[in-house]
Structure formats: structure tokens, C-alpha cells
Amino acid sequence: MSETNGVTRPPREDPPRPDTSRFMITAAPKERLQKLLDTVNSGPPKTIRDLACEFNMSASHIQHLFKAQTGSCLGRTLTEERLRKAAALLLEGSLSVKEIAYIVGYKHPSSFIRAFDRLFGQAPSRYRQAMNGIA
């Protein structure tokens, strides 16, 4: 007890800590994260909303969990995975850039081309030529 101006006050307590249990992974963290990564890396392209539904979580919650466990943004990881799949399809050579854009989940080929250029430093058609040894 402390006394200030003749008033006795109880000792100061720390404020209550916020409930962070909603951010904790309830299943074994590594197993759940591995399942999420496997889902991201397999099958057709997924959106954050698709993953949230599949894992029975809100979109923001799954993003927080992913970031806490990996240090990376889920949205960026999904985009990079799509673009890696696109790069592999480009090297097969039988599909047009427009077809590949739609296959990997882009609605507009121009958006795909810009995203591809940001990640790989060149347009998809140039990437295909460079990787296939065409000048």
C-alpha cells in the first residue's frame, strides 16, 4: 500500500493481458502449417478465402496464423506459387500466355503479365524465349 496526500492506495497492478488464445494454433503447429503449405502447393490455384473455408477459419485469422508461423504473407505466397506454376507451363511451350494466365487464376492477362514481370524480371514471353534458348 502506498500513501499519497493522506490517501492509502492498493499497490498498482499490471493491466490485464489481452486474450491471445484466438491466435494460437490449436492443433500441433507444425502439422497444421504443413497441411496448409501442402494445400497451397498442390492442385488448382487457391485464394485466401478458399483456404479459410477449407480450414474453417476467417480469412484474416488464417493470414495471421500463416504470418506468425512463417514470417511471410499468405497472399504473397499464393501469388508466387501461381507464378511458379505459370513459369513451368511456359516452359512446356504448348500454351499461349493468355491461356496460362487463365489456368493459374488470373482474370486479365495484363495483370498476369505485370505480376510475372515483378517476380521474374521479364515478361512471360521473354522468359519462355530465354529459358528455351531462343534469342
Domain ranges (residues) in the chain: 26-131
Asked if pLDDT for residue 111 goes beyond 90, the answer is yes
User: In the chain, how long is the greatest CA-to-CA distance?
Assistant: 89
Judge whether residue 119 has pLDDT over 90: yes
Q: Looking at residues 80-87, what average pLDDT do you find?
A: 92
More confident residue, 125 or 37: 125
Is 26-131 a domain of CATH 1.10.10.60? Answer: yes
Q: Where are the alpha helices (DSSP H) in the chain?
A: 29-41, 48-54, 59-70, 74-92, 97-103, 109-120, 124-131
> Which residue bears the cell 511456359?
90
